[in-house]
Structure 1
Amino acid sequence: MKHRSLEIIRDEHSSLAAMLQSMRLMVDRGPQDDPRNFFDVLRAMLFYIDEFPERLHHPKETELLFPRVAAAAPEVGMAVARLDHDHEYTEKAVRDIQHLLLGWELLGESRRQRFIDAFHRYVNLYLEHMRLEEQEVLPAAEKHLTEADWRELDAEFEKNCDPLTGKYKPDPVYEKLFTRIVRDAPAPIGLGGS
């Protein structure tokens, strides 16, 4: 049976991975001739990560999905514990990275490498986090959770409506943010520079 929450989780992981890859391309390329746009777009992308994956996606996994999976499939308990730990780390890390980006923008090149190092650690951890979740925890969930579990999970995850998945219109409050990201960020997430 197809579970809507799993589809939503995978869609959100896919859009986040695309966002992280676009950011990595931007960071590796650097500000070039348009530092204002570079910093504006990176700030917008980091703000998106803080607003959507960190405040919407992760809490539902930590509070609803992971405890059920750990109880039903103890063999993935270590993976669940690591994923929960990752959630605690990434919630703080995205704000720290925003601060490091601001330091680079306002204080110049002397702050660039600190940002780059922290950013790459963050991206690598995040991509590994999603891989672990999709290869170990989600298959265990599919195998062991009950229909009652899925009804509740589906109802909660359907409220996410992340526009970067391409399946939902942005909430009017976030419309300017998503327009900026899609217009100015490089592919695969946006239409901006190569």
Structure 2
Amino acid sequence: MSAMPTPTAIRIIREEHQALSAMLSSLHLLLRQHRQDGTPVRFDVLRAMLFYIDEFPERLHHRKETDLLFPLIRARSDSAGEILEKLDRDHGVGERAIRDLEHTLLSWEMLGDSRRDGFEQAVERYLSFYLKHMQLEEEVVLPLAQQVLEPADWAVLDDAFSENRDPLTGHPPSAEYEQLFSRIVRTAPAPIGLGGAA
């Protein structure tokens, strides 16, 4: 018996996880590069990267997981209730954390290098937090979803996640985002350049 094809929503979620992971890794690499080389810090690029994380993963990706994917799984199975509650809490923590990162970056830019360590440490915490979060989703939640969700559920999820159009997963940026993504992709170190975005 042939395996069922991977639902579109699952493919998009994984692509968006890969894009977020790449953006976070590039942010980390850029900070390390500035420190090692003693080059002037590109605050505009750091701001653009944090804005991307806030605008796409936080506002689109995570909200659709919390508002659509997780409730559908809960309706079909009671085996992952605690994990889904934790992931929902993570999404709330993540929204606050990205705002805190943006503020911490601004304080470094406005007040100088005495605030640099605080920002770099906050980036490390955020990176570790989201890598663990995405690993839990990919290793536990997505396989469970593929086991318990029905075709009608996948139709809803496929439509919803297909609207995201994240440029780092290969979609051309809309006119309003074109300059933002051009700045990030031109300046950020590897691994940015997913999905033909570079």
| Same fold at TM > 0.5 | yes
Query: For each residue in 1:110-158, what CA deviation from the matched residue of structure 2 results, as whole angstroms up to 9, or x when unmatched?
Result: 1111111211111100111000000000000000001000000001100
Question: Which residue of structure 1 lines up, in the alignment, with residue 189 of structure 2?
Answer: 186
Structure 2 residues without counterparts, runs of 5 or longer: 194-198
Q: Secondary structure at the match of 1:78?
A: helix
Q: Please show how residues 73-112 of structure 1 align to structure 2 within 5 Å.
A: 73-112=77-116
Question: Which residue of structure 2 lines up, in the alignment, with residue 140 of structure 1?
Answer: 144
Question: Which residue of structure 2 lines up, in the alignment, with residue 158 of structure 1?
Answer: 162
Q: Does 1:67 align with 2:71?
A: yes
Give, as a single letter, the amino acid of the residue that structure 2 aligns with 1:171: S
Equivalent pair of 2:45/2:183 in contact (CA under 8 Å): yes
Distance 2:77 2:119 in 1: 39
Question: Which residue of structure 2 lines up, in the alignment, with residue 14 of structure 1?
Answer: 18
Give, as a single letter, the amino acid of the residue that structure 1 aligns with 2:59: R
Give, as a single letter, the amino acid of the residue that structure 2 aligns with 1:164: L
Runs of 4+ in 1 over 3 A off after TM superposition: none
Q: Secondary structure at the match of 2:79?
A: helix
Deviation at 1:47, TM superposition (A): 0.2
Q: Does 1:33 align with 2:36?
A: no
Deviation at 1:29, TM superposition (A): 2.8
Structure 1 range deviating more: 53-62 or 64-73: 64-73
Distance 1:29 1:80 in 2: 37
Equivalent pair of 2:34/2:40 in contact (CA under 8 Å): no
Q: Does 1:170 align with 2:176?
A: no
1:52 to 51, 56, 63: 56
Q: Secondary structure at the match of 1:52?
A: helix
Give, as a single letter, the amino acid of the residue that structure 1 aligns with 2:54: D
Structure 1 residues without counterparts, runs of 5 or longer: none
Q: Secondary structure at the match of 2:173?
A: coil
Matched length: 188
CA RMSD of aligned residues (A): 1.4
Identity between Structure 1 and Structure 2 (%): 55
